[in-house]
């Protein structure tokens, strides 16, 4: 399966600032997803990012807070804007070829701490 390089792996940020997380895939993928994972919890989908169109956000997540770019089929970014301590979490990007019979593969995650 494809490999996703996600960076940064971790960061400590001041409240009120923004952080951009990057994911680079070693092959073209149709769909990319961004998740948030609170400590000890499951994955919560933030948005689906498709190339050439705006991201589709899940309930509770908005573009102003989590702008996403998907300029091509191998790259995507998620920005966490105007951060507060409540944004401290692990952020994961995922890719899939878009068919249900292919699995999703994941980046290593970004552990974000907002102080």
Backbone angles phi, psi at 86, to 5 degrees: -65, -15
49 touches other proteins (CB under 8 A): no
In the complex with other proteins, which residue's Cβ is closer, 48 or 81?
A: 48
CB 94 within 8 Å of CB 105: yes
Query: In this chain, which stretch among 13-21, 64-72, 74-82, 97-105 interacts with other proteins, using CB under 8 A?
Result: 97-105
Binding of residue 107 to other proteins (CB under 8 A)? yes
Cα 85 to Cα 107: distance, rounded to the nearest angstrom? 23
Secondary structure of residue 100 in the 3-state scheme: coil
Binding site for other proteins (CB under 8 A): 1, 4, 6, 31, 33, 41-43, 45, 48, 92, 94, 96, 98-101, 103-109, 111
């Amino acid at each position: 399966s494809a490999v996703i390089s996600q960076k940064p792996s971790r960061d400590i940020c001041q409240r009120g600032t923004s952080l951009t997380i990057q994911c680079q895939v070693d092959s073209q993928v149709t769909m990319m997803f961004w998740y948030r994972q609170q400590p000890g919890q499951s994955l919560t989908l933030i948005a689906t990012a498709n190339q050439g169109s705006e991201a589709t956000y899940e309930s509770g997540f908005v573009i102003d807070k989590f702008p996403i770019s998907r300029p091509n089929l191998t790259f995507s970014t998620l920005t966490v804007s105007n951060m507060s301590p409540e944004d401290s979490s692990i952020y994961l990007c995922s890719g899939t070829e878009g068919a249900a019979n292919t699995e999703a593969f994941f980046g290593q995650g970004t552990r974000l701490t907002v102080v």
